[in-house]
Each structure stands twice: as C-alpha cells, then as structure tokens.
Amino acid sequence: MPEPLPVGLIILDGLGLSSRREGNAWALAATPNLDRWWRRVPSGRLQASGEAVGLAPGQMGDSNVGHLNLGAGRVVVQDVLRISRSIACGEFYDNPVLVEACQPGRVVHLVGLVSDGGVHSHQDHLYALLELARRRKVAWVAVHAILDGRDVPPQSAGIFIDRLEGELVGIGAIASVMGRYWAMDRDGRWDRLRAAHATMVMGRGRRAASARTALAEGYARGETDEFLTPTVIDGTGIAPAESVICFNFRADRARQLSRALADPDFASFPREGGLRQLTTMTLYDEEFPLPHAFAPLPRPSHGLGEWLSELGLSQLRIAETEKYAHVTYFFSGGRETPYPGERRALIPSPRVATYDLQPEMSAREVTDIALAEVRRDPPDVVILNYANPDMVGHTGILSAAVRAVETVDACLGRVVPAFRAALIVSDHGNAEQMLDPATGGPYTAHTSNPVPAILLDASRPGAVLADGILADVAPTLLEIMGLPVPPEMTGRSLLGRTDCR
C-alpha cells in the first residue's frame, strides 16, 4: 500500500495583499494557480504586523517575526518591543551588561543599522545608548553607521544621518558609514564583510569629509543607501582596549560581523588587528555567546514542530539559504537543533550580487528536492518556504518581482499535488507594493498589509477560512490533520469560524 501523502504548510515569503494594481507584483504577474485558488477555494486574510505579531502598533512585520508566530501558534512578543519598553521605563540605563561596556573614560564604538525600520534595529535604541554614554561619562563615542535603504526608502539615509549628528554633539562623531549590503551579509559572502571590517576596525578604505558627503558621493556613483561603499569619516579604527556595542537586535544579519570582530577562531578571511571587546543587544549565536544586554525569552513550549515530534510524527523543513534559518531556527522558536522526527533540506541560494539578476532564485530546486523527499520517504508534514517575493521585492525592481512571483506560482503548481492537503500562507508583505505611493519611485521595504491564507483540501468541501493572525496557522494545520491543539497555543483554528479577529 502506498504511503499516505503529507500535509504541506507553504510559506510565500513577503507576499501580501493589496487592492492597488500599480506596483503590485502579484496583480501584474501571470499567476494562474494562485489566482484560481484565491477565487475558488477557502481563503482568508491574516494580519502579519503590529500587535498581531508582538510588535508595536503600526510596525511592519518581517520574516523572523512571521516565522516565530507561525511556528509558535501564539503571539510572540518581539525584542524590539522589549527594548523599547525598557527604555521607556528607565531600566535600560541600569542594564548591567551595557553599563559594563560604557566604563567612564573609555572610548565606545556603536555599530548597527541606523534607521527607524524596526526590522533589525531602531534608531531610538541608538539614541538611548548615547544617553547612557553621557550618564556614564565615557570619553568618546564613535558610531559606525550601517545604512538601510531596504526596510526604509532606498535614499532616505540623509534624514537619519542628520538626526544622528545632532544627537552626537558634545559626545562623539560618526566614524564610518557603509551600506548594509557590506556589513550585514548572512550568506558567507566574506568579500563584502572583509571590506566592512577593514573600514570599521582598521580605518582603511574610501574617505570622505562627512557622512553627508559620503552619501552624496555614493549617490553620484549610482549607489543607494543599502549599497554605499564602506567609507571612513572621522576615525582611525577600533583599538583593542575600546568597547564595541552592536545595537542590532535581530541576530541573523549580525552573526557574521560579530564573529569577525570577536571570535578567536575566525578564519573566513585574514583578519587584521586582532579581537575586539564586543557587547551585543541580544544573543546572536548560541554557539558563540557574547555579553548581551537582553537575554532570550524562554522558547515558546509546544510550538508546532515540537508538538508534531511529541505526537510521533515526522516533518521536513525545506528552504533555500536566504530563508533556511527562518523555516528552521525561527519557526522552532529559537531552537537550532532538529526535533526527533524532523529532517531538513537546505538548497543554496544563487550567488549573485542582487536577486533582480536572478529572480527565480532557487525556487525550482527547492521544489525538485521537496518532491524527491516526498517520494523517497514521505514525512507527515512538509514546511516549505519560497524566498522569492521577499528577497526580490527588496531590490525595488518591479519587473524582477513579477518574474519572482510567476516562478513561485509555477512551482506551486508542481508541488501542491504532492500533498493531501496544503495550507498556503505568507509571513509579511513586500512584493505587493514595489512603488512608493508618495514618490512613485522604487519601494524596497516590507509592508503592513495583510497576507493570504489559502486552503487546498479536497476532503473538506464547503470549508470556510476565517480571517485571523499568523498565530492561528499552527492550530489550523493541526485541525486539518485531525490532531489535538496543545493548551500553550493561544491561536485559534481558522476553520469553521464565523468571527473575525
């Protein structure tokens, strides 16, 4: 007798819902599968931003946050909100780890993404560190400003630089600037990080008289904020006796930089200048723990992956490199190691400078491997991520985002028949808004739009999906499989509900 087909949870990373057609990659793409399913099978809208996913009101979601909520089956309070609350109540200024890093008379270097995007960092946290430095009477603060242009408009850095320079009067200066493309890689592109490291640590590379000048010169070269060439402004690097605080709270794009700065066993490129005394805002890497100001919250118990394992069921997690951590580590609530019965498949992302050059990414390979794994040894559940809408959406190139969505639609047409039931969702919006409505220019950031939920299950004729939040997805999947929902999951199944959250 053939093995029963698995149930699939398919995450279309960065594909939201918008009524606007202009600049909407989904609306402009040829997507016969998604279009047909959206019209003809049970579907609903999920809130994927703000308080619905544990963020501040109005804050757009992201892949980390989305996968945490999807996997936990409950709303998970996020680090950005924890840190902001500690600043508001004053506890931040007595944080023992930060106080230790800001010794009186010491030079302190602050490294991180300078924007109000709220995905990897927030400028308010940087300004709170400057206030702490004043209170602690440090000798000088040198800010190594990583520019965003991805979670905020692509040429918005001037706004953040101007405010930062005002906040630094009397206490410090901007020592270097560079785009996040160089300093926040997470895919082992060490040539980028080597250039960022040389500028930060050794004070070596392109020079400019001011951050504003560096920005203007970069724009003249055709660079946007994200890609600004590493540039020394007012500094000679980081001396070994000086403190370094990285104020990014999101780990995945800070791990490589933290290891280059402080790991004695680092060998990914010849590192000059030795180690630095590094403190981080949160724990970046369990295998390389550094002093960090905010300890991880307890992992959500009995998330979907853990619960399936306890019930004796098997699961396959599959994604390409860019979203592999999300479908594994973040979906499991911050757990690195697989659960019993969990196997994983990692497909390398293409090594191109930007994904508009290859908007198909590795979606076809992800599909091929998923189908091969189901044929070889069918798991009970497949949790699959398609990275294209988000990663190509971040480029701001509408034509590429259209091709990305079309690629994913074609892959869905191949992979969905391998499942006895499939729940297709997204984690946050992005590719549905590729144009800035205020300027008409490219829009590279996430959105606060709701995201789709689509149920393909021939055994449930007449089923209805209610609108809800990302935390409702895990209980819904368990109901589809006829499994109990653990009491820790406070999300509610979308099946059969007549109410809306």
For the annotated catalytic residues, the residue numbers are 63
Cα–Cα dist 103/96, whole Å: 11
Yes or no: say if 432 and 447 are a contact pair by the CB < 8 Å rule.
yes
Q: Which residue has 């798991």 as its token pair?
A: 379
Q: Which residue has 């089923």 as its token pair?
A: 463
Cα–Cα dist 203/189, whole Å: 21
Q: Is 407 exposed, middle or buried (0-12, 13-18, 19+ CB in 10 A)?
A: buried
The b/e string for 325-361 (b: 16+ C-beta within 10 A; e otherwise) is bbbbbbbbbbbeeebebbeebbbebeeeebbbebbbb
Tokens representing residue 242 in the block: 């000086």
**DSSP secondary structure of 401-426:** HHHHHHHHHHHHHHHGGGSSEEEEE-
Helix, coil or strand: residue 23? coil
Tokens representing residue 227 in the block: 């890609």
Cα–Cα dist 123/425, whole Å: 31
User: Quick one: which of 62, 120, 18, 34 has its CA closest to 323?
Assistant: 62
Total H helices, total E strands in the chain:
17, 16
